[in-house]
């Protein structure tokens, strides 16, 4: 076995010439076209690795009872994905060394080819849960939420929490009443906003997705408890994945804007406008929403059975 055989380098390094009109590999139309091809191919390789890790995380989570020893493996897969995401975002810097005019010297050779047609990117959207699943299996989001909803939350927690949240909102009301920048109209507006904030917490903890929402809030609020620490790091890793997916989209859109401005894309979309419209979509909006209802530690209701979430007795010295 030789290095080149193991890595299939003949195929890999022979795959950079784009096909010409006759379907045969053609010469580059500009010096920078190699960069354009290499950067896209490297992204596709990282998409492949990301799918591989995300599938593993999904498979480990999509079982009726996740063994505690699997949680660090899921977190490790997500941390690896996070490193890849950060690397990918920086790769756009390399592409930005290409002058807009130089891109135009081969852009028409792309025809209607566009990243829009990247099947791995679409698979990533489907597997993560941003788009409906394609293969009938639970996607990553469904697996995370089913696992989260099984968090053992203390009896009566939601009621105790709502009382603490009301006190918190009262404190915010008091702070705003002293806001010197608000006239009577501004004051009424901010108090109405706080009314809506309070109502939205009630809906969050008692509405349709109450079980999942309560679990999210419980975990994040008591993340310092030893037994909740590991599940909480999983939630953080999931949140980082979601955040960096959007950072990728934002970064791609800025690079596109810099190179082609607001013109129609080769795929036929409105271009930058379309790309910017995709940036807001979060995979896990419920996890982000739960953070709006966290209260400072001095207001957190004490756990009624703290031992349950502490270290196992036999582990204590």
Query: Smallest distance from the beta carbon of 47 to ligand HEM, in angstroms?
Result: 7
Q: Which two tokens mark 50? A: 């990301």
Q: Does 251 bind ligand HEM (CB under 6 A)?
A: no
DSSP conformation class of 151: S
Q: Does 43 bind ligand HEM (CB under 6 A)?
A: yes
Q: What gap in Å lies between CA 289 and CA 235, rounded to an integer?
A: 13
Q: Which of 28, 80, 103, 240 touches ligand HEM (CB under 6 A)?
A: 103
Q: What gap in Å lies between CA 68 and CA 233, rounded to an integer?
A: 13
CB-nearer residue toward ligand HEM: 197 or 274: 274
Decide: 191 and 176 in contact? Cβ < 8 Å.
Answer: yes
Q: Which of 66, 252, 283, 295 touches ligand HEM (CB under 6 A)?
A: 252
CB-nearer residue toward ligand HEM: 75 or 256: 256
Q: Does 275 bind ligand HEM (CB under 6 A)?
A: yes
Please work out, in degrees rounded to the nearest 5, the angle formed at the alpha carbon of residue 209 by the alpha carbons of 286 and 290.
30
Q: Which of 8, 99, 114, 167 touches ligand HEM (CB under 6 A)?
A: 114
Q: What gap in Å lies between CA 73 and CA 230, rounded to an integer?
A: 11
Q: Does 118 bind ligand HEM (CB under 6 A)?
A: yes
Q: Which of 37, 39, 51, 146 touches ligand HEM (CB under 6 A)?
A: 39
Query: Would the CA dihedral through 297, 300, 302, 304 be positive or negative?
Result: negative
Q: How many residues bind ligand HEM (CB under 6 A)?
A: 23
Query: Smallest distance from the beta carbon of 19 to ligand HEM, in angstroms?
Result: 18
271: region left, alpha or beta (phi > 0 left; psi from -120 to 50 alpha): left
Length of the chain: 317
Question: Where do contacts with ligand HEM occur on this chain (CB under 6 A)?
Answer: 39-40, 43, 95, 103, 114-116, 118, 121, 252, 256, 259-260, 265-269, 271, 274-275, 278
């Amino acid at each position: 076995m030789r290095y080149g055989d193991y890595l299939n380098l003949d195929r890999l390094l022979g795959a950079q010439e784009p096909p010409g009109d006759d379907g045969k590999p053609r010469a580059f139309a500009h010096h920078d076209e190699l960069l354009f091809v290499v950067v896209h191919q490297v992204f596709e390789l990282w998409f492949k690795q990301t799918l591989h890790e995300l599938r593993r995380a999904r498979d480990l989570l999509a079982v009726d009872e996740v063994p505690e020893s699997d949680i660090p493996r899921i977190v490790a897969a997500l941390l690896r994905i996070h490193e890849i995401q950060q690397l990918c975002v920086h790769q756009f810097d390399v592409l930005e060394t290409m002058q807009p005019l130089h891109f135009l010297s081969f852009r028409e050779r792309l025809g209607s080819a566009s990243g829009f047609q990247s099947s791995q990117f679409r698979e990533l959207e489907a597997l993560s849960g941003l788009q409906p699943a394609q293969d009938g299996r639970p996607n990553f989001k469904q697996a995370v939420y089913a696992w989260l909803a099984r968090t053992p939350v203390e009896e009566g927690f939601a009621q105790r929490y709502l009382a603490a949240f009301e006190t918190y909102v009262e404190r915010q009301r008091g702070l705003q009443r002293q806001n010197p920048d608000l006239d009577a109209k501004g004051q009424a507006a901010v108090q109405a906003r706080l009314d809506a904030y309070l109502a939205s917490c009630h809906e969050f903890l008692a509405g349709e997705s109450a079980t999942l929402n309560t679990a999210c809030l419980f975990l994040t609020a008591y993340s310092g408890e030893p037994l909740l620490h590991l599940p909480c790091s999983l939630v953080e890793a999931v949140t980082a994945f979601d955040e960096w997916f959007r950072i990728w989209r934002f970064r791609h859109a800025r690079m596109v804007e810099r190179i082609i401005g607001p013109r129609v894309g080769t795929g036929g979309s409105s271009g930058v406008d379309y790309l910017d419209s995709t940036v807001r979509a979060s995979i896990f909006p419920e996890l982000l929403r739960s953070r709006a209802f966290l209260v400072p530690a001095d207001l957190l209701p004490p756990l009624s059975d703290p031992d349950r979430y502490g270290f196992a007795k036999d582990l204590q010295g």
